Amino acid sequence: MALLSNTATLLAKELRTEFRSRELLTTTVVFILVVLILFSFAISPTTEESREFGPGLLWLAILFAASLMLQPCFLREQANDTLSSLRLAVSDPFAIFLAKLIANTLFLLVTEILMLPLFAAFYNIPVLPQLHYLLLVLFLGSLGVSIAGTALSAISAQARMRELLLPLLLLPLLTPVLVVSATVSVSLLDREPVVQWKGIAFLAIFDFIFLTALWLFGEYLLEE
């Protein structure tokens, strides 16, 4: 109960801070937009090529944008040592992670939902027919990125080469999520769409395992 109430309080703080500054949302939206436009004009893909390569490109843009977004996640807590005051205040340190990863997932999802119509327009791919499945893949993929990214952000924030460390750890770790999310998305956006339930199950299991690991060992990541 205390975990849920602490998480809700911290999540409200994360959202208030972000919607006041709009730093993270602006960065990710602009980044994904630039990548999508740039590749759309550079490659000028046909509809078939778009169906084949578009989803992979979208996920690559999401992954890089997420690594930008996750960087300040714990770094912001270092400026005034607010991480210490949070650790003193909360009854379960997992609440700190839970609030941050829910906030990160929400920010990523908002960005993706904003970008989806533009992606459909630039790459001439109709996303509406399979939108519900696509949103499920985006949710599970984004959750995986956020869980692993939030944990690594806590580690890298205390390291010396923190700006370099997060992408260095994050990208290899998230390769399976990226590959599976892109593959499932390609199948969904195909001329004859197929729902790859195995891929969706893989994403759900990845999220569950990493969330459990964070719950069990997260406290140690916050220690000085």
Partner 1 sequence: MAFLTLPPTGLRFDNIDKRYGGLYALRRVSLEVSPGECLVLAGRNGSGKTTLLRIAARIVRPTAGKLSFPGSSSEADTNGRPGYVAHTTMVYDELTAEENLVLFAKLQNVPQPATRAEELLREVGLYDRRSSAVRTFSRGMRQRIAIARALIHRPSVLLFDEPATGLDPIGISWLAKTLGDVHRSGCTVVMSLHGESEISSLATRAIQLDAGSVVADTSSGASLRSILSFGGA
The DSSP code sequence of 88-134 is: HH-S-THHHHHHHHHHHHHHHHHHHHHHHHHHHHHHT---STTHHHH
- The minimum distance between CB 89 and partner 1, in angstroms, equals 4
- The minimum distance between CB 81 and partner 1, in angstroms, equals 4
Given the complex with partner 1, which of 190 and 219 has the nearer CB atom? 219
Residues at the site binding partner 1, with contacts judged by CB under 8 A: 2, 5-6, 9-10, 13, 16-17, 20-21, 79-82, 84-91, 223-224
Given the complex with partner 1, which of 192 and 224 has the nearer CB atom? 224
Given the complex with partner 1, which of 17 and 212 has the nearer CB atom? 17
Which ranges constitute the DSSP H helices of the chain? 2-21, 23-43, 47-75, 82-89, 94-123, 131-156, 162-188, 197-221
Please, which contacts does 15-22 make with residues 24 or more away whose CB atoms are closer than 8 Å? 15/103, 15/106, 18/103, 18/107
Given the complex with partner 1, which of 96 and 186 has the nearer CB atom? 96
Between CA 25 and CA 222 the distance in angstroms is: 25
- The minimum distance between CB 5 and partner 1, in angstroms, equals 8
- The minimum distance between CB 96 and partner 1, in angstroms, equals 10
- The minimum distance between CB 91 and partner 1, in angstroms, equals 7
Given the complex with partner 1, which of 42 and 88 has the nearer CB atom? 88
**Closest Cα partner for 154 from 138, 140, 170, 141?**
170
